[in-house]
Structure 1
Amino acid sequence: MSTKKEIKPAARVSSNKQDVWSLVNEAAAAAAQGGQSVTNLGQGFFGYNPPKFVLDAAKEVLDRVECNQYSPTRGRPRLLKALSEAYSPFFGRTLDPNTEIVVTTGANEGTLAAFMGFIEEGDEVIVMEPFFDQYIHNIQMAGGKVVYVPLHPPKDGASKTCSSKEWTLDIEEFKSKITPKTKMMIINTPHNPIGKIFTKEELKAITDLAVEHNILIVSDEVYDRLFYTEFTRVATISPEVENLTITVGSGGKTFNATGWRVGWLIGKPHLIKPASVGHTQLCYSSVSPLQEATAIGLEKAESENYWEHSVKTMKHKMDLFNEIWDELGIPYTVPDGGYFVLANFSKLKLPEDYPFPPSVQNRARDFKLCWWFIKELGVAAIPPTEFYTEENAHMAEDYLRFAVCKEDSMLEEAKEKLRKLKPLLEN
């Protein structure tokens, strides 16, 4: 009698641990079924449309036959040219659109393509905590091993509002993680979820190690148009660093269109060619009409005064929302870039007998905070320990991450709900 072999999913997708996105959505759905409205400041999708000149471009190109067919695998010529013209001034030289840029299906697929282009089984990749969770899965899918090093939170972050600059990297600790197997490191600036922009001095200390040990750098700069202080692009530190750096960009973050899934990689030809092959093998080419619309957006952004308006608008939203923390006396991290804010709730005591579900009961405190905020206040946030290893989760277990890329009315609605915290904080 033959026994059929059991079919099992691959280990990379078979974890029984519920991911943060489905957990938050589950809690929000349960609250909604109970008749409660939930203000979602969790995921970082925009609560408003792209600018009109970009939307108009998308509508116009849909009528063009060639924009509804396959694009060249490296990207549509118009977008490659627009990216070269937009980014060349930052790099201090003319970027070759044919050899130094590849368009990807969002920044996430771009990072995966970079890993697929260079990472082999057993190669090590240094990642700073907190991290964008997709880095981990993407590195592991490419056969790499993730090596973690934390950004240390402000020592008094539980008692006073601090700058994102006060989240610091111990460069000696980082250096200790480098081994002969280290192939790559990831730098995220402006940083998600902290909002930290690494200073030129910090970047030089990190990249000096990359040059010394010949380590590739993936620089995730998807929030590169949303900065409120001086912003240094990693590849501009020195010619030696540029030779090692793949810069990741995002049309979705740039033009409030996260669902468009248009991203790009920029780097020297010897870096872009392998990443381009990885991209081609992953998805062949990216969405044609939205590439063309993104190109038109880049071409018109300056004349539409979009860059200045974008920064001014997001800074306004950040300041508008953070008024609630000042009002309640809740410490938070003031971001230097991006659209996330971390607030510290160490002084908020949750009921000991609160009926948390099993999916939350054994997770870090911020998961309990997140669930309680949804159920009791009707405000959804993200628990940042999802972006940490268990070893270092204690660094962020009192924080929650809020996304302010929403309509002002939604931010005001969230603030009104959060005012319910006041009597609980006074006890």
Structure 2
Amino acid sequence: MASVIKPAERVRKQKRDVWSIINEAAALAPKQPIVNLGQGFFGYNPPQFVRDAAKSAVERVDCNQYAPPKGRPSLRKAVADSYSPLWGKDINPDTEVLVTTGANEGMLSAWMAFLDPGDEVIVFEPVFDQYLSNIEMPGGKVVYVSLLPPPDGVVKNSSAAEWGLDMTALENAVTPKTKMIVINTPHNPTGKVFSREELLAIGNLCVKNNIMILSDEVYDRLSYVPFTRTATLSPEIANLTITVGSGGKMFWATGWRVGWLIGPEHLIRYCTAAHTRICYCGVSPLQEGFADGLYLADKTSFWDESKKDMTRRMETLNEIWDELEIPYCKPDGGYMILANFSKVKIPEGYRFPAELEDRPHDFKLAWFLIMELGVASIPTSEFYAEANWDQSHNWLRFAVCKNFDVLEEAKSRLRGLKKYIEA
């Protein structure tokens, strides 16, 4: 009999991921179709000018063949031209921009390029769960520093800005093995936009200790408050910083999987080397779509209109939290809303699947919401280390990048919570 092949430890030790659990619940739920406000994919098409550019590119012979590993020259130049005014300096499209197969592959390329086994990477939790496995893939060790939740967020509405940075905890987390700090601004899942003062404190700490910065800014065009780009703080900080961008987030096309890294040549060239070995290159015609998209968006009011549109979607969903008196956290960026379900009481003896027995209460709340109301959300304990699950405080994450009729249907279904809310 053949022996059982043992998987790698980094895979074997992982619990079943939240996306599988939530999707399974959605498939089993009696109320179909499910209103999916859990995953952050858009419920509507990218803008017409982006789709038209991609369609046109499909008709070109060169756009149906391999792109250069660094990305198509048109997109690298468009990224450089679009970001240079925001950086306050000229970005070199040939040496300082790398086009990647989505932002996620871009970050994996950075970690593959710079992490050796045992190197430590500091992340701020709640932390997007995809970071963790990608850091561990090349042998890195994740070190968690918790953002401090709004002090009264369980009982009243709060702002994402109230998720506080504990600089003492961050400084204490730095060791001789610290290779990188990951910043996510605007932040998923809280919607926090790190202030200039916070970013400067982090950046100066990195300069002092020669620590790299990976600044995940994929929601940068959806910031509703003044937004500071990490790489613009000082030449010394810029020299240590790789910035992550996403065409999919900017142009409502998450399935196109086109992102980019921007940074100094001495960092980007190693990311390019790793990226070339991971996937060689991205999808040619879709890169052309985003290249044209960046130029047209910069020439028009697209960015401002996009913010206004997403703000209306957030306001639409938030009406139900006000109606139910469920506290929520108003985001300063992105399209995720955290609502606190501590007041919602699940009936005594309610049956959950066995795999939820050792999960925090917010997983049970999310399952209950799907089964009883047909509304999917994401429990935020998924974004914490197991040792810190208690800090998730029954927050559920809702994505509002959906059609307005879907948001209205979600509100209608969520009114069914009234009989489960403790006065």
The normalised TM-score by structure 1 is 0.97
- Alignment-derived partner of residue 44 in structure 1: 40
- Alignment-derived partner of residue 126 in structure 2: 130
Instruction: Give the Cα separation in 2 of the matches to 1:148 and 1:424.
Output: 34
Q: CA deviation at 1:169?
A: 1.4
Residues 10-409 of structure 1: pairs in structure 2 closer than 5 A: 10-15=8-13, 17-31=15-29, 34-409=30-405
Contact 1:70/1:288 (<8 A) preserved: yes
Instruction: Give the Cα separation in 2 of the matches to 1:132 and 1:82.
Output: 28
SS at structure 1 position matched to 2:21: helix
Contact 1:113/1:282 (<8 A) preserved: yes
Q: More deviation in 333-342 or 53-62? A: 53-62
Q: CA deviation at 1:16?
A: 5.9
SS at structure 2 position matched to 1:201: helix
Instruction: Give the Cα separation in 1 of the matches to 2:149 and 2:14.
Output: 30
Instruction: Give the Cα separation in 2 of the matches to 1:415 and 1:187.
Output: 33
Q: CA deviation at 1:5?
A: 4.5
Q: CA deviation at 1:390?
A: 1.4
Instruction: Give the Cα separation in 2 of the matches to 1:16 and 1:121.
Output: 19
Give the superposed CA RMSD: 1.1
Instruction: Give the Cα separation in 2 of the matches to 1:35 and 1:345.
Output: 21
- Alignment-derived partner of residue 410 in structure 1: 406
Q: Which amino acid aligns with 1:147?
A: V
Q: More deviation in 189-198 or 382-391? A: 382-391
1:133-179 per-position Cα deviation (integer Å, ceiling 9, x unaligned): 11100110011111111001011111110011111111001100000
SS at structure 2 position matched to 1:97: coil
What count of residue pairs does the alignment treat as equivalent? Answer: 423
Q: CA deviation at 1:375?
A: 0.2
Contact 2:45/2:252 (<8 A) preserved: yes
Q: CA deviation at 1:279?
A: 0.5
Contact 2:126/2:146 (<8 A) preserved: yes
Instruction: Give the Cα separation in 2 of the matches to 1:320 and 1:95.
Output: 39
SS at structure 2 position matched to 1:301: helix
Q: 1:264 to 1:228 in 2, by over 3 A?
A: same
Instruction: Give the Cα separation in 2 of the matches to 1:182 and 1:425.
Output: 45
Contact 1:364/1:397 (<8 A) preserved: no
1:45-94 per-position Cα deviation (integer Å, ceiling 9, x unaligned): 00000001111111111000000000100010000110010000011111
SS at structure 1 position matched to 2:333: coil
Instruction: Give the Cα separation in 1 of the matches to 2:137 and 2:333.
Output: 30
Q: CA deviation at 1:4?
A: 5.2
Stretches of structure 1 lacking an aligned partner (at least 5 in a row): none
Q: Which amino acid aligns with 2:235?
A: P
1:259-301 per-position Cα deviation (integer Å, ceiling 9, x unaligned): 0000000000001011110100100001111011110111111
| 1:8 alignment partner, one of 6, 13, 19 | 6
Q: CA deviation at 1:19?
A: 0.7
Contact 2:362/2:396 (<8 A) preserved: yes
The normalised TM-score by structure 2 is 0.98
Q: Which amino acid aligns with 2:289?
A: A
Q: CA deviation at 1:36?
A: 3.3
Q: CA deviation at 1:304?
A: 3.8
SS at structure 1 position matched to 2:228: coil
Instruction: Give the Cα separation in 1 of the matches to 2:299 and 2:234.
Output: 31
